[in-house]
Amino acid sequence: MTLLIPVVAELVAITGRRGISDASLAAVIGVHRNTPSRWRSGYRVPSFGHTLGWATFVGRRVAAMDENDEILAEGEAIPGQLKPLRLRAKLSLEDAAELTGKSLETIDYREKSTRPPKLSTIDEQLTAIGCRLVLPPL
């Protein structure tokens, strides 16, 4: 088992408090009925898209928040805001690479990519620039 990404841990807690079954969650967001238990256990990490669907199902939205508790981006817009958020934090590509332990090329690719990034990628880059994913109510 791996440590849960904080936003996933919060979704797990909300889902549990509401008594939502894995089968119900899976049916709503379009995954195999066993997939939510793998997310809950940390065996797998949900995709960013599945995280957005899960959050909506439990009445939340996914947002990127800075250290001053200001929401800087929401939902599907978050991946496209990785570079502007890095620049807002006055960090160079080199700084971001050092903070994440990734190469310059990897950071540059992530910021330019049109492919949906993994949730773990978004969480890692936001953490490096002093932001975090949060789940405000809809």
Q: Residue 64: in which H helix or E strand, if any? A: strand 63-65
pTM (two decimals): 0.92
Q: Is 61 exposed, middle or buried (0-12, 13-18, 19+ CB in 10 A)?
A: middle
**Mean pLDDT of all residues belonging to the chain:** 94
Class of the domain covering 6-57: mainly alpha
The full set of domain ranges for the chain reads: 6-57, 63-134
pLDDT at 36: 96
pLDDT at 2: 64
| Cβ–Cβ < 8 Å for 138, 61 | yes
| Residues in CB range of 110: below 8 A, 6 or more apart | 82, 117, 121, 125
Asked if residue 1 has pLDDT above 80, the reply is no
* 56-81 pLDDT tens trace: 999 999 999 999 999 999 999 999 99
Please give the C-alpha separations between residue 31 and each of 57, 84, 125, in angstroms, as whole numbers: 14, 32, 26
Domain 63-134 falls under CATH 1.10.260.40? yes
